[in-house]
Amino acid sequence: MAKPGKRSSAVAEEKSETTEEAASKKLREWVQAGVPSPKAAAFPRRPGFRHFGRLKQTNERRATVMSRPGWKRRASAAEERALKAERRSFAPPKPVPKTIDNQRVYDETTVDPNDEEVAYDESTDEFASYFNKQTSPKILITTSDRPHGRTVRLCEQLSTVIPNSHVYYRRGLALKKIIPQCIAREFTDLIVINEDRKTPNGLILSHLPNGPTAHFKMSSVRLRKEIKRRGKDPTEHIPEIILNNFTTRLGHSIGRMFASLFPHNPQFIGRQVATFHNQRDYIFFRFHRYIFRSEKKVGIQELGPRFTLKLRSLQKGTFDSKYGEYEWVHKPREMDTSRRKFHL
């Protein structure tokens, strides 16, 4: 006699078999009638999914299109580049874009390198002793009265850029009293940095002992710690100097003033260069260290400080604000009538 537990399990198996048979029979009826099953309706087919039948139709359609006489295969990327280069060779050259720099109004004082008159004037001017290597630069850097920290730090950083330069505090002395003391101590140049509201805003450069004296407006001052991705502090090597785009007689005078601040014999082992770049009468000063990565690639790293100068006046002789004779004075209402007129 079978036990009750075994009998109940056998009955359950019979019921499950009959249920599966009924489900499969019902599914066959739905397929024959073309009605989707509840499972297919609950899980619809994805749009991107293709049956093998559709894929075959696509391949047949592609083969039909490719067999037509007017069909052309799409060019590869290399062929497209070669085709563009061929078209570019027959195309007319692109016009040079117009900028304020290349549309500059011609200045009558633009210097010709082969001009004998200019060469004679430069051989007899105040900087002739420096360019003839008869004197070596010795610079005094000072500030206005009671300077603030930012101006003092700029003077200290300039002294590391310009060799043989010394920083002295003003102590309330007038420039007319400082200049004779500088001449007595054999200084060749005097740099005075003025400030307004704790920010450097002006620079006076006076060549000693006979001038000339230039007054600049200073802007966009950045000290070393304010420059992103700057290099280490500069070494004591004598840097090279680059004077760029000083083309007129006035520009030559200003460029020679900057050149006389640095010694003649730069030490190339230090790989340091000071740049005075003139663009639209704004003089941009930068100080970099460079390295030759290969025969064609050079890497540069800014060391700081950086600032921008705008010439305000050029005076004959040493500084004299009352009785001085001016060679050139910037007059905005008269000189700035055209944006394409430059003076340096």
Give pLDDT, residue 16.
Answer: 54
In angstroms, the CA 280 to CA 344 distance is 8
Tell me how far apart the 2 most distant CA atoms of the chain are, in Å: 140
**222-231: pLDDT as tens digits:** 999 999 888 8
DSSP 2-51: --HHHHHHHHHHHHHHHHHHHHHHHHHHHHHHTPPPHHHHHSPPPTT---
Query: What fold, for 103-336?
Result: Rossmann fold (3.40.50)
Helix (H, G, I), strand (E, B) or coil at 245: coil
pLDDT digits (tens, 9 = 90+) for 47-60: 555 555 666 677 77
| HEC letters along 135-157 | CCCCEEEEECCCCCHHHHHHHHH
What residue spans define the domains of the chain?
103-336
- pLDDT by 10s per residue, the chain, length 344: 444 444 555 545 555 556 667 767 766 776 566 555 555 555 555 555 555 566 667 777 777 776 776 666 666 788 888 888 888 877 788 888 888 888 888 888 888 888 888 888 888 899 999 999 999 999 999 998 889 999 999 999 999 999 999 999 888 888 889 999 999 999 999 999 999 988 999 999 999 998 899 999 999 999 999 998 888 889 999 999 999 999 999 999 999 999 999 999 999 999 999 999 999 999 999 999 999 999 889 999 999 899 999 999 999 988 887 788 899 999 888 888 888 888 88
Rounded Cα gap, residues 186 and 164, in angstroms: 12
Q: In whole angstroms, what is the distance from residue 343 CA to residue 251 CA?
A: 7
Query: Is this prediction's pTM over 0.75?
Result: no
